[in-house]
A and B are shown apart, each in its own frame.
Chain A
Amino acid sequence: MSFRIKVGSKPGEKDVLGENTKKEIESFFHFNIDSVVTRKVYSIDATLSEKELQLLERDLFIDAITEYLCEEDTFDWFIEVGYKPGVTDNVGSTSKNVAIPAILHRKLKDDESVWTTTQYLINSEDLTENDVERIGIKLLANPIIEDVKIVSYDQMKKEELKFTSPKIKGKQDININAYNLNVSDEELIKISTEGVLALILEEMKTIKEYFNKEDVIVERKRIGMDEAFWDKPTDAELECLAQTWSEHCKHKIFNSIIHHKDEETGKEELIDSLFNTYIKNPSNKIGDELGWVASSFHDNAGAVKFNDRILVVDKIETHNSPSALEPYGGAITGIVGVNRDPMGTGKGAKLMFNVFGYCFGSPHTKEVPEGVLHPKRIRDGVHKGVIDGGNQSGIPLVSGWEFFDERYTFRPIVYCGTIGVMPVEINGEPSHLKKADPGNVIIMVGGRVGKDGIHGATFSSAELDKESPVQAVQIGDPITQKKMSDFLLGARDLDLYKCITDNGAGGLSSSVGEMARYCNGCKFDLKKVPLKYQGLDPWEILVSESQERMTVAVEPEKVEQFLELSKKRGVESTILGYFENSGRFHVTYGDKTVAYLDMEFLHEGLPKMELEAIWKRPIFEDPDFEQPKEMNKTLEVMLGRLNICSKEEKLRQYDHEVKGLSVIKLLVGEECDVPSDATVSFLEYGSMEGLAVAEGKNPHYSEIDTYHMTASIIDEAIRRIIAIGGKLPSKNTVFYGLDNFCWNISTLNSEEGKFKLAQLVRANKALADYCEAFKIPCISGKDSMKNVWKLRETVNGKKVEKIISIPPTLMFSARAKINDISKTVTMDVKKPGDLIYVIGLTFDELGGSEYYSYIGEKLRGKRYIGNNVPKVDAESAKKIYRSISEATGKELLHSIHTPTIGGLGVALAKKAFAGGYGMEVDLRKVPYDGKSRNDYVLFSQSNSRFILTVPSEKKEEFERIMRENIYSQIGIVIQDTKLKIKGLDGNFLIDSDLDFLKKAWKNTLGN
């Protein structure tokens, strides 16, 4: 039986969704709309008595105070939006599995279902059917995951609408196919491309050779595989190899052999693995010297010993491709997915904090090509996804940034990270170590498996275009995961499992495959895997990336207790098989073998790639322009630029203080609305220790030189930490980094590919150089190499293909222990009469600056890039940082802020309007080395600088501490709420009201 419960706001009650939709339609399309009314529709496909239905309406679906059961509606146009079959409908599944059983005290059957849709009833006489279709597809729904039904009132009167359930009608028969690899090279490539396997020819040939080996064939015969598979891989095997060997899982470019040639210096060298040479080996060396790194670069996340009691576990991932196609689903899956990394590290960590970093096209973009979502939609959807994912999991956001550039229109970047903690020891054992032993039982915990997310790993290793596959898109379910993580932490503390890892990219093939390395083998049965719906072939079950699942290894004697606790917590756990010391990755479907691979071949058989990299310095036009006359106006415009303006409207929607641990919040100042340089949070209740979190990023420097880009962002992350009162790393001070690369390599070994690889080499060299200089160990990182978009255009009747690449994008994250949070400092000025200092030297380093971008756009409609990119002098920077730490330790500072994008001008303005007091400053006093121009001094983005305020009575002590550094008192905090800056000629260059400046900063992305 089918029931449809249609719920609306009572007349007179506010229909917030309707009102907001009306506003969105008006601002997006400029249509005239009289009203939009919305209805929530719950469709139930189940056997229910009349009385049961009434009970559900009364006690569950309708809020009797403000809502009512709607019957006939009137409207001009009707749009109904609902999920396509197979897409996760979280509300529908909660209704079916939790809400209805709580009332009826019985479970709905597997083939019964509840699904939700939203109706938009639009009143407007101006709209045509085509307009309404655009509203439906461009604004309200994403056709990749949602179905849209559009009807006019007249049509609706004529014929009754039919609503069908989005159920997947699974096929009955199960197929296991063989792949014939004994074919030509072209055929091999075709098999890889058509199967979205993302394997290159050499890899396909290696696989072919393996399956033709005599001993392999003998062994396959011996265990009784079907004859068809004796010398050919099954679909499950080929898929499993493709997942395990994917760029996403194996980081093939980072581990390749690179012939690098630097045309600038003439130097040539052979690099055997960028990752080992520049990241892992140097980091391990630094980590060994410092002593507190517990685990780096081998588990799902890195771990450091924070104090005698706890380890901090940290990981950042990207989820770019899915977010480009379905921003909400891609992003929520991104955050909920990275949550499982700390959860699956060591014995399993408790999740503490989330972070994000996004790169988008301008939300004010006018037109986008077909097949590309509008950047505003991507931005809104990505934010909403990470907001829901974090908020619903009860994990506060402690850091988030956005960067805008038109190239990200085609390929947004979505970084999501999670910090966790775990006790140093659990039940007497070090928590960061784990092991699966032969005989341990393989148990899958959490959500069920469907077709969603098949080929996620190989898909993210391929470039996007209009025809990109959509089954890789899924929607995370934070509540299912929260229940699972609560349960697993309980099981961990009872010592009920020995080893744990998450099901992410590659699904079971990766999770079981990885854990099987501890004991060299496993055997499990895919038929036992609980499915969302019937009809999945074994290979699909093996590689499906359905979310919210962990795999654990349980000792046989503890299985019963594990399953019992799981049941009590409402979490599904299923025995799939066991680990063994067989040297084989053995997968069956019932009693039929569907995969039988040598563990060694699976994990070590991947041939290394050999690549070429050639560095040739690009030369950009050095901008030549007059200094703007109206500097008040210039500062205002700079404050309103996308890469500088306030992002408060979005930031506020992230819960940033659940758990009650925040000490320096995301937003600070008199009105709590200006971002802090870094945030600080307690990790334990009742302690005075805290964890500081900050990031550095600036893809605009990459175009000039990725070496200095990397140096600059490492310095940015560090000085943000120093600014809130942190200290450089030492044996006693935990301070670690994470590196997350998003690169843009579409073809290897082409001229363009060689250059982009050289850019990657330079970034890695800087990472090694500056981590060594500042003694910061990286403990975890990730790379996403193929952030390009194939744009197919028709120019003069000819079809052309253009590759659009993102600028090389690197996020460097810094985390530091704060020993006494009461001595931290924030960026806002706090008291009139305080003295304002600038620390560090300013150069005319405007290459890649926001000011050059602005001037270029203003003068010629295209940003200037320039060549003089900011550099980092690590030795003088370290001296400054030590002195600043001494000053904050002695509580001499009232405020401190480090200039980043927009330089001193923007930093001074933000500092003043955050604090609510004015400033009087003289640019002549700023330590500066360069061409004598006010605008250069104001907007240069030189590194390693601070602006800070000191109460006058602390002047002497402060200056004594700073004496070996370059510093200068440049002005004073004033009561009058104005920013007054004297220029190099001694006249007032800027004299602006703080309210005015703040408005300019808030308007761009305000409400």
Chain B
Amino acid sequence: MNGKRLLIVWLALMMLTLGVSLATAQDTQDVSIVHYYSSALGQESMTALFDSFMAANPQYRVVDNSAGHEDFKTQILVTIAGDNPPDLFSYWAGARTQFIVDAERLMPLTDFWNENSLDDIIPAGVRSAAVYNGEIYNIPMNVHVVGFFYNPEVMANAGITEMPTDWEGFLAMCDAILASGVAPIALGSMNRWPAQFWFDYMVSYTAGAEFRQQLMAGEVAYNSPEVIAAMETWKSLVDAGYFVADANAYDWTDAADQVANGEAAMTLMGTFITGYWNGNGLVPGEDYDFFPFPVINPELPVVTHGTVDGWAIPAAAANPEGAQALILHMLSPESQALWAQGQGALAAVNNVDTSIYSPVMQAAADYLAQVEFLSGYDLSTTPPMAEGGLTMFAQFMNDPAGYLTYLDEVEAVAVEVFEK
């Protein structure tokens, strides 16, 4: 074979390879999914759900692409912006979903919601997290409530038998714990977001939930007297020595370990901490328990902050039918029960047998049923604003004395973000 023939054969082989690749890419029976449940427990439960879905729907094959919590935020941006999105992805309800909805990158799911009568199984309070610009875009999978998770043994050693419901009681409890030789509060703000729950409750319980919503929308200033007062309340706790030192050196799981090991009494965290502790062999109600954030100003409405995790379908998804079938499977009582138990979450649907909840999760569920639900800070304001706020919380935990400067700096971010 001479050189020219060899060249022709080589080019033909290349074109054949390209053709085969394109033909393979036409297969749309795969349901590709990207999610952030990449921890051992989350991935295990999610894989079980995918397996049961594929067993019941053999026409579909789930292509699972999980990513670490922080890496996910970048990955999903790149895939959606690059017009190479998955068919389905997990996403936090709130401002982050709003951001993608406004960019017209998500598929409206209002018809899907109505055709499957999801109003019958998803409570109105949870449904509100699904609606953006009048349409449904994010189908809730679970709810997490943020409150205090504590070590009962440490509390008992400090002589505390009843958890406080008001601020005076909370301060007295912290003093008693401190006197017993243990740090009252663990916080792992290495990744910044765990500190946001403190800011959320401080603002909601000193300035009110309505003011907080205005702050999230850029309608009031970060260096306003209300936010200054909220930060001063938070600062008084740090100054009193209630927090474990060097919060920025630890992740939230480190803080959870400090509570579990008895180095600290409690931590302000979402109910997902129960999944972490259960996975470490701790027994709910015995090794750890829950109480809601105590009311600071009784004249203001009682709320709970937290997270609704949901499912969204990109506007450019290749297989939206497969994605919708998978969502329906996720919302079945069996799937929801499996997920709630494995993940340490409250089910998004109301037809789950609540006996599956541990006493701790039941307490969180009862609390959620009584109060208004508000998403956490970084899910309540736009991503660039949240970036500024989260940085401020980490600054504050490093050196609370500079809180006025930090508020001025974050207000400068707000001016740019909200074009004030």
Q: Does B associate with A?
A: no
- The interface of chain B, by Cβ under 8 A from chain A, is none
- The interface of chain A, by Cβ under 8 A from chain B, is none
